[in-house]
Amino acid sequence: MSLLESTIARIREPDAGAIAEAAARQDRLTKPQGSLGELEALSIKIAGIVGSGRPRLGPGAVFVMAGDHGVCAEGVSAYPAEVTLEMARNIARGGAGINALARKAGARVVVADVGMACDLPPAPGIYIKKVRRGAANIARGPAMSRDEARRSVEAGIEVFEAELAREAFAIAATGDMGIGNTTPSTAIASVYTGRAPRELAGRGTGVDDAGLERKIRAIELALAANRPDPEDALGVLAAVGGLEIGGIAGLILAAAARRVPILVDGFISGAGALVAQGLCPLAARYMIAAHVSGDSGHRFMLEALGLKPLLSLGMRLGEGTGAALAMTLCDAACRALDEMATFEEAGVSGKEEA
């Protein structure tokens, strides 16, 4: 049995007993029922994931998966491919947006090279899991072989497991770095939502109108050339995906197998989440949608995943930035469930029975 198969085999339904216990406690807390809105539902979901009716979250970890894309040759990005390496270095040094927001959330940042075209110098907090030097140009053929797709997913699993063994964390978040990666992500979104690329494609790094048309055309070519089958998630990843997208799918599967809440960031993470759900539908029960991004098609991705976003701030940076912000909400939801007194504990008169 491969690492991917053994990981999927360990994924079970969330803990129904913990869900019931958390829901019952929410109804007895010193507040009108439902008055904390989505925080109540969030705390109950986390209870089921971790298997405790009164969950408490400790430190978190943000995993930034990095990879390059041959489709950049089609003029789909406003930035050159070299920026992937430069930004991965910046994240590793602590100078990126994700670092600032993760520090505020009390989370560490981990960077993994799953498929960069250049080499990232080894350093603490960096994992070198390169499957190949960048995905191929999906407008002209498949992104990678099926074996490479599997290895990219397993790279995400390996990074998650290695970091968990190195220093435990209670909640995880997905992040990405890869110039051009909104193009394969849009292709994946099209496969799983059934919507045309023109409905889903955004401006990514800020391409102009001509660049957006090139991007849409590249996605259309990729779908026509590769004909990905939504019933074959690994095949979709191999046909029109990216190596860091596969790594994100692996992170999600590993988190589900370990019963760790996993915050799914934006558009690229959404593509990884769709692949993870395709590989194991139960994995979606462990995902928490951090936010709905400013990318056009992200809301359709979340609908396909059955997830409701916690935040809507128009963010589209990626890196795990939205997920880092949402970590604080997850902690707050659990603290409210655990630390608020019930009517009985506080000696407060509750709602009278009819």
Give the contacts of 254 (CB within 8 A, at least 6 positions apart).
7, 156, 157, 160, 161
Instruction: Let me know: does 270 contact 241? Beta carbons within 8 Å.
Output: no
Query: From the candidates 319, 339, 352, 353, which is the catalytic residue?
Result: 319
Provide the residue type at 147 as one letter. Answer: D
DSSP for residue 310: S
Total Cβ atoms within 10 A of residue 231: 8
Sign of CA dihedral 79, 85, 91, 95: negative
Closest CA to 156 of 120, 131, 135: 131
3 to 48, 151, 194, 248, 353: CA distances (angstroms): 25, 9, 30, 15, 54
Total Cβ atoms within 10 A of residue 205: 17
Dist CA 70 CA 133 (whole Å): 10
Dist CA 268 CA 203 (whole Å): 13
Listing DSSP states for 250-291 in one string gives HHHHHHHHHT--EEE-SHHHHHHHHHHHHH-GGGGGGEEE-B
Instruction: Let me know: does 213 contact 234? Beta carbons within 8 Å.
Output: no
- Strand 107-115: give its sheet, edge to edge: 126-128, 107-115, 60-67, 171-177, 262-264, 287-289
Mark whether 319 is an active-site residue: yes
Dist CA 174 CA 264 (whole Å): 5
Dist CA 253 CA 209 (whole Å): 37
Q: Which residues are catalytic?
A: 319
